[in-house]
């Protein structure tokens, strides 16, 4: 059995790492705050959000939304509402603050206000005729869910949500309020039917999670490789030159493809990200055994691009793959 995560210890580790790598501090501190929330240390999480907002964060609206959600969970409803109102007024052009704010309202049964927030975000961030940005899809799905709870008729955005959903279960069924009622029912027949349906959904999710991550090869852009070798000269044995590095990537991928290995991909590395990864592993960036682990971690986070690419070459030359490394 997998041991239970010690969220306090994980938060402390992330805080130490953030102090060592200030260029990645914002993301690391946000993860630390999440662990503090999970451990019940919500006041400490709020302090972290305040510290981030006191500086010049890259994503202030996201941090405010996370702070509002956290505050509401330990009794500071008025302050949380004020922050959410501020997010609605500033109307950020990124989806995540809207999603967090709307879901905070939804989780506290403020369905009409959640619907208003979802609707404002959808009309602001999604073109009625263009494709749905991947990061905005939760807005469409969340709005559909809330409208089902409010027993509202389908509109054009609900149809768009149905068309955009990748779930095997139709959204109307997935978001059916009767599912919640059946889970609270004392009727054994209703409970058995709902458990069977949930098991079927779980099987679908397990199948999706069991798909192998791409076999990823690490790609260092020229400027990043120069910075890496300047900071860690011992890695020169691994990367004699940038040209050799690019040649090795292509030849390695071709050999893997020839051996029948599926799902090949390339992940692009950066020095700050690699240093943060090494710190998280309590190791040195000069440890070459970390390089494939780092590549696998990036791939697991969805950072891999498919090889061979259909358009421009993976090396970033701006030339088509067929005329560059694919030649």
- The CA-atom distances, in angstroms, between 48 and each of 25, 28, 38 are 11, 11, 14
Cα–Cα distances (Å) from 323 to 100, 243, 256, 316, in that order, read: 44, 16, 21, 13
What is the band of 2 on the pLDDT scale with cuts at 50, 70, 90?
A: very low
Domain-located, residue 13: yes
Question: What's the rounded Cα separation, in Å, for the pair 287 and 146?
Answer: 50
- Of the residues 139, 167, 195, which one is the last residue of a structural domain? 167
* Domain contains 1: no
For residue 34, tell me if it sits in a domain: yes
> Are 122 and 219 part of one and the same domain?
no
Q: How many domains does the chain have?
A: 3
Range of the domain at 258: 215-323
Ranking 28-37, 81-90, 172-181 by mean pLDDT, the lowest is: 172-181
* Residues 133 and 11 both lie in one domain: yes
Give yes or no for residue 100 having a pLDDT over 80.
yes
Give residue 185's pLDDT band: very low, low, confident or very high (50, 70, 90). low
Q: What's the rounded Cα separation, in Å, for the pair 122 and 95?
A: 9
| pLDDT at res. 230 | 93
Question: Is residue 199 located within the same domain as residue 286?
Answer: no
Indicate whether 83 and 36 sit together in one domain: yes
- Mean of pLDDT values over 67-85: 94
**pLDDT reading at 211 higher than 70:** no
**Is residue 143 located within the same domain as residue 203?**
no
| Domain termination site, one of 167, 200, 231 | 167
Residue 273 located in a structural domain: yes
Same domain as 220, residue 201: no
Between 41 and 22, residue with greater pLDDT:
41
Q: Is the pLDDT of residue 34 over 60?
A: yes
Grouping H, G, I as helix, E, B as strand and the rest as coil, residue 264 is strand
Do residues 265 and 214 lie in contact, with contact meaning Cβ atoms separated by under 8 Å?
yes
Structural domain contains residue 147: yes
- Do 230 and 297 fall within a single domain? yes
d(CA 133, CA 125): 8
Average pLDDT over residues 2-28: 83
Confidence of residue 141 (pLDDT cuts 50, 70, 90): very high
Residues 163 and 192 in one domain: no
Residue 319 lies in a domain: yes
With a cut of 60, say whether residue 207 has pLDDT above it: no
Per DSSP, 153 falls in state: P
Residue 106 and residue 189 in one domain:
no
**DSSP assignment letter at 3:** P
pLDDT in tens, 221-275: 999 999 999 999 999 999 999 999 999 999 988 888 888 877 888 989 888 888 8
pTM of the model: 0.57
CA-angle at 207, arms to 205 and 210, nearest 5°: 110
- Same domain? For 185 and 274 the reply is no
Same domain, 91 and 180: no
**Are residues 16 and 96 part of one domain?**
yes
Q: Specify if 78 maps to a domain.
A: yes
Residue 316 lies in a domain: yes
In this prediction, residue 208 carries a pLDDT of 41
Of 106, 135, 167, the position where a domain reaches its end is 167
């Amino acid at each position: 059995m997998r041991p239970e995560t010690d969220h306090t210890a994980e938060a402390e580790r992330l805080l130490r790492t953030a102090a060592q790598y200030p260029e990645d501090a914002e993301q690391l501190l946000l993860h630390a705050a999440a662990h503090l929330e999970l451990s019940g240390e919500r006041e400490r999480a709020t302090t972290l959000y305040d510290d981030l907002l006191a500086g010049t964060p890259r994503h202030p609206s996201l941090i405010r939304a996370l702070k509002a959600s956290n505050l509401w969970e330990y009794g500071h409803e008025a302050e949380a509402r004020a922050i959410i109102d501020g997010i609605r007024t500033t109307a950020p052009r990124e989806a995540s603050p809207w999603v967090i704010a709307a879901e905070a309202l939804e989780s506290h049964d403020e369905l009409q206000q959640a619907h208003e927030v979802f609707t404002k975000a959808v009309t602001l961030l999604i073109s009625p005729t263009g494709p749905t940005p991947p990061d905005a899809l939760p807005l469409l799905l969340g709005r559909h869910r809330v409208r089902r709870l409010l027993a509202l008729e389908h509109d054009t955005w609900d149809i768009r949500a149905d068309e955009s959903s990748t779930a095997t279960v139709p959204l109307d069924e997935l978001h059916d309020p009767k599912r919640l009622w059946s889970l609270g029912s004392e009727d054994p027949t209703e409970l058995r039917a709902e458990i069977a349906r949930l098991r079927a959904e779980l099987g679908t999710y397990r199948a999706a999670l069991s798909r192998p991550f791409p076999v990823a090869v690490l790609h260092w852009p020229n400027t990043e490789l120069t910075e890496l070798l300047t900071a860690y000269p011992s890695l020169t044995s691994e990367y004699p030159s940038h040209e050799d590095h690019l040649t090795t990537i292509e030849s390695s991928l071709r050999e893997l493809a020839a051996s029948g290995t599926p799902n090949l991909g390339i992940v692009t590395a950066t020095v700050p990200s690699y240093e943060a990864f090494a710190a998280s592993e309590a190791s040195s960036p000069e440890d070459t055994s970390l390089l494939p682990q780092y590549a696998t971690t990036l791939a697991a986070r969805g950072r891999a691009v498919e090889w061979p690419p259909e358009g421009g070459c993976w090396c970033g030359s701006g030339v088509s793959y067929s005329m560059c490394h694919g030649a």
